[in-house]
Amino acid sequence: MSELDVEPVDEVDEPDERHPTQVDVEAATDLPESIDAPEYVLYGGKGGVGKTTMAAATALSSAAAGTATLVVSTDPAHSLSDTLGTEIPARPTRIREDEPLWAAEIDPEAAMEEGLFGEGGIGVEDGGAPLGGLGDLGEALGEDAVDPLMGGSMPGADEAAAMRQLLEYLDDPRFDRVVIDTAPTGHTLRLLELPEVLDSMVGRLLSMREKFSGMMEGFKGMFGVGGEGEGAPDLDELRDRIERLRAVLQDPSRTDFRVVMVPEEMSVVESERLVRRLDEFSIPVSTVVVNRVMEDLADVADVDPEWVVSPNLADCEFCQRRWDVQQRALRRAGDLFRGHDVKRVPLLADEVRGERALRVVAACLA
């Protein structure tokens, strides 16, 4: 059997042991004593597959093992607060007194008020130029000149805000591990493209700095470089920081981008496409998480028996037909993701909210 294979229907347990019931959310499950993950763990995939659940469970387990951990959501439609059962602000805040766990939900609107790249950067407040002075550049050169300068693309608020946070967290001494709950696939790819876009922008600006030095005022404060009264920000320093971020994201000893999917064909196809795009960016994907698999929880993790509740595949026609759909998807995923560490998280009877349920998920990911 491959890592994605599961037992066929005719080998399931007796029906009276497999009727769906409510999961006892009070049942205790120990968190793993350690977590096999690098400094930076990013969970990505299409919307609704369980990225937030995996990120929260990983962060909770990491902190419980004694590692100072930050879990951060870059998804504008945040659900991290609901999953962890506590209010989470836009800046990293410790949310557990007994464990070194911090959390943040990036607020793109607040980031726009600060400027996409930090205080004084590309902002829109007080009638300022929406692109931090690049509008003036467009008026001076014309749109046909600005588009090639920018490489035909400008970073969006959500992605730029997330990228600025990532740059800050690289040097934040409080955190030994950062777990990132990314936005759905399209937003995530734009986020990962951002270093390339900015590097291209900076390269062009460096080549034009002498000719258009008076138009560089709008870049003051970008990523914290440059200062008041200076004729232009230190674009060389900015390029160095972009390169550092790229190097971290591409280093498999420091970063693991984990693709989350559900056992359905469309999810498998989109996940394979995401893995291929990440490979184009040289971003390592060592782990694939298959969520909501209709199998026995006891086959995947050692948890309290009260949690071991499974669909009735012997008597339930609906369950059988859904299981057939999952088996086809699992077989295809097994072919596509050979060589990756494939982790399965069974379908639970209750929605995964709160620490007790996250402990079960963390046991499956261990």
Q: What is the pLDDT of residue 75?
A: 76
Tokens representing residue 232 in the block = 């232009």
Task: For residue range 43-66, list pLDDT tens digits in order.
Answer: 989 888 999 999 999 999 999 999
**Domain contains 6:** no
105-116 average pLDDT score: 64
pLDDT tops 50 at residue 149: no
**Domain contains 195:** yes
**Domain contains 114:** yes
User: Measuring CA to CA, which residue among 252, 93, 241 is closest to residue 163?
Assistant: 241
**Domain contains 28:** no
Tokens representing residue 277 in the block = 């795009």
How far apart are alpha carbons 311 and 316 in whole angstroms? 8
Q: What is the pTM of this model?
A: 0.74
Which of 56-65, 127-136, 154-163 is predicted least confidently?
127-136
Look up the CATH number of the domain holding residue 77: 3.40.50.300
Q: What is the pLDDT of residue 112?
A: 56
How far apart are alpha carbons 36 and 29 in whole angstroms? 19
Q: What is the pLDDT of residue 310?
A: 78
**Domain contains 332:** no
Overall domain count for the chain: 1
228-253 average pLDDT score: 70
**Domain contains 14:** no
pLDDT tops 90 at residue 123: no
- What is the SS3 assignment for 342? strand
**Domain contains 162:** yes
Give the range of the structural domain holding residue 285, as residue numbers without chain letter.
38-295
Task: For residue range 179-235, list pLDDT tens digits in order.
Answer: 999 877 666 666 666 666 666 666 666 666 656 555 555 554 444 454 444 444 466
Average pLDDT in the chain: 74
Helices marked H in 172-213: 185-208
Q: What is the pLDDT of residue 19?
A: 35
Q: How confident is the model at residue 243 (pLDDT cuts 50, 70, 90)?
A: confident
Share of the chain above pLDDT 90, in %: 33
Cα–Cα distances in angstroms (integers) from residue 137 to residues 134, 159, 197, 209, 210, in the given order: 5, 23, 18, 12, 14
Q: What is the pLDDT of residue 32?
A: 78
Cα–Cα distances in angstroms (integers) from residue 335 to residues 21, 232, 328, 331, 351, in the given order: 34, 53, 11, 7, 30
**Domain contains 56:** yes
Which residue type occupies 65? A
How far apart are alpha carbons 56 and 353 in whole angstroms? 10
Task: For residue range 292-349, list pLDDT tens digits in order.
Answer: 999 888 888 877 767 777 788 889 999 999 999 999 999 999 999 988 999 999 998 8
pLDDT tops 80 at residue 141: no
Q: What is the pLDDT of residue 229?
A: 44
